[in-house]
Amino acid sequence: MPATDSSATAKRFTEHVLRLLLEVVDRRRSSTHLRAFTDAKALAAINTMLAQDSVPDRSLGTATLTRVHLTPAEGAAAEVFASYQRGPRTLAIAGRIESSKGSWRLVAVRMF
């Protein structure tokens, strides 16, 4: 992560966008709410997951974000690793955020 961007800002962004992602995949919000925080390819992947109803274990109930970890990557980017709870199961999210023009965006996401 670049020196001009604090890791605390990146972590706050990541926690916010992942909570929003979980609300979207739980169908409590429309995926349009993610448009300001994701790039087009990441949003398309999310919409495909929704259209194919391939959200992991959605039948177990509401998803709750439990942990978020960031690992700095080259340039103005970070790899994202998170866990979330759904009923008795612990599941995972992997992704990547990138900073451009002073703001972070989710550019890749995968849910397990």
Residues in contact with 109: Cβ distance below 8 Å, sequence separation at least 6, in sequence order:
21, 38, 42, 45, 46, 80, 93, 94, 95
pLDDT band at 5 (very low <50, low <70, confident <90, very high): very low
Q: Distance between CA 79 and CA 88 in Å, rounded?
A: 26
Domains and CATH numbers, the chain: 7-111 (3.10.450.50)
**What average pLDDT does range 57-64 have in this prediction?**
92
Task: Give the per-residue pLDDT at 6.
Answer: 66
Q: What is the pLDDT of residue 63?
A: 96
Q: Global pTM?
A: 0.89
The rounded mean pLDDT for the chain is 92
Count Cβ atoms below 10 Å from residue 38 Cβ, excluding itself.
23
For the segment 74-92, the average pLDDT, to the nearest whole number, is 95
pLDDT at 41: 95
